[in-house]
């Protein structure tokens, strides 16, 4: 099974946009002493109203005492979570009525976050040194899910809502998330002194490789074709990925890659060529060239760690790293 991808979707059953606001308790705005007047706030029996030039305002932001308030469609200052325009805000539920910012909000068993401008987050955001994901439609914090950000990258978030680094088990497979980029690791990676191999979808293949010859001079898993070629040909680079990625990796690193076989070069077989496995490919060392045939040495053609050799025809069909 490949890695499960989940796009941010609405998960709030309480239904943001259907909030019931309780106006039965009327208190002092920010604790200030308020008196009825032609302009400004007026404390009425049903809530706080706001007047400008003697006229009561509706559906309007107002500022007072360094805070922002919102007067609703009934002409009263709102409380709780409110949708204003296309955004959501929180005005407290303690009869202070002012807009909150940089604050967590708990409601209906979910967690929300009001950002610096008071708007609820609905993307991957940095809060107090770690990243969280918020549903694009429901605005709630996401837990235990793999989430695509607005910039297109995918990240894992744990049970506490924090972005995941290190090992993570997901739908029966094991993955590893980089501690710097937070992205899932693919290809070969040294972790805690052992080499691990991850497929192109980030799934761990087998276990870690720990052997006497393992070192930073050879970053490929012991027993694999990539490991053997690197051991035999010191000029081959590290971290080139799976065998079928070697040709492009070598080009990007400035190596000459062509279809001209030569003794002492690395030959790259794409999936399906010369028996190479689809999705991984195969690499080997060229030991002899005869016309359009090559004699190669390879590892893992007959089992992990097993070295073998053979003649391969149609030599000009394959790529060679010089």
- Pairing type for strands 110-114 and 103-107 reads antiparallel
Longest Cα pair distance anywhere in the chain, in angstroms?
101
Beta strand extents in 96-216 (DSSP E only): 103-107, 110-114, 124-127, 130-133, 145-148, 154-157, 166-170, 173-177, 187-191, 194-198, 204-209
Domains in the chain, number: 1
Residue 143, domain member (yes or no):
no
What tens-digit pLDDT sequence spans the chain (322 residues)? 343 433 443 333 333 332 333 333 333 454 443 444 468 999 998 899 999 998 999 999 999 999 999 999 999 999 999 999 999 999 999 999 999 999 999 999 999 999 999 999 999 999 999 999 999 999 999 999 999 999 999 999 999 999 999 999 999 999 999 999 999 999 878 788 777 878 889 999 877 655 545 555 788 888 899 999 998 998 999 889 999 999 999 999 999 999 999 999 999 999 999 999 999 999 999 999 999 999 999 999 999 889 999 999 999 999 999 9
> Do 6 and 170 meet the contact criterion of CB atoms below 8 Å apart?
no
Residue 287: which domain range? 243-321
Q: Is 53 exposed, middle or buried (0-12, 13-18, 19+ CB in 10 A)?
A: exposed
Distance, CA of 40 to CA of 97 (rounded, Å): 15
User: What is the spatial distance between Cα 52 and Cα 18, in angstroms, rounded to a whole number?
Assistant: 30
In a domain, 299, yes or no: yes
Residue 235 lies in a domain: no
Taking only Cα atoms into account, the Rg of the chain, rounded to an integer number of angstroms, comes to: 31
Residue 296 lies in a domain: yes
Residue 248 lies inside a defined structural domain of this protein? yes
Domain assignment of residue 277, yes or no: yes
Q: What is the CATH number of the domain that holds 274?
A: 3.90.1720.10
Please give the Cα distance from 92 to 71 (Å, whole number): 14
DSSP state of 77: B
* pTM for the model: 0.59
301 falls within a domain: yes
């Amino acid at each position: 099974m490949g890695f499960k991808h989940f796009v941010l979707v609405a998960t709030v059953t309480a239904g943001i946009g259907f909030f019931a606001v309780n106006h039965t308790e009327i208190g002092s705005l920010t604790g200030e002493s308020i008196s009825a007047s032609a302009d400004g706030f007026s404390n009425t029996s049903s809530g706080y109203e706001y007047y400008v030039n003697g006229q009561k305002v509706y559906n309007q932001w107002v500022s007072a005492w360094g805070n922002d308030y919102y007067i609703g469609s009934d002409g009263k200052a709102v409380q709780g979570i409110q949708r204003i325009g296309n955004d959501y805000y929180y005005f407290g539920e303690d009869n202070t009525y002012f807009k909150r910012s940089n604050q967590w909000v708990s409601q209906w068993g979910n967690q929300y976050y009001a950002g610096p401008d008071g708007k609820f987050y609905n993307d991957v955001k940095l809060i107090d040194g770690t990243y969280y994901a918020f549903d694009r439609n429901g605005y709630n914090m996401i837990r235990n899910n793999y989430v695509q950000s607005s910039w297109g990258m995918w990240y894992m978030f744990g049970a506490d809502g924090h972005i995941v680094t290190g090992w993570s088990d997901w739908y029966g497979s094991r993955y590893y998330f980089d501690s710097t980029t937070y992205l899932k690791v693919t290809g070969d990676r040294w972790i805690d002194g052992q080499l691990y191999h991850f497929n192109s979808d980030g799934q761990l293949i087998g276990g870690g490789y720990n052997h006497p010859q393992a070192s930073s001079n050879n970053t490929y898993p012991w027993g694999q074709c990539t490991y053997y070629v690197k051991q035999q040909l010191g000029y081959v680079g590290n971290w080139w990925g799976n065998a079928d990625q070697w040709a492009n990796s070598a080009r990007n690193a400035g190596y000459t890659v062509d279809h001209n076989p030569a003794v002492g070069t690395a030959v790259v077989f794409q999936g399906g060529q010369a028996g190479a496995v689809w999705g991984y490919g195969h690499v080997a060392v060229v030991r002899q060239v005869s016309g359009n045939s090559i004699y190669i040495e390879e590892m893992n053609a007959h089992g992990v760690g097993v070295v073998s050799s053979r003649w391969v025809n149609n030599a000009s069909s394959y790529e060679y790293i010089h």
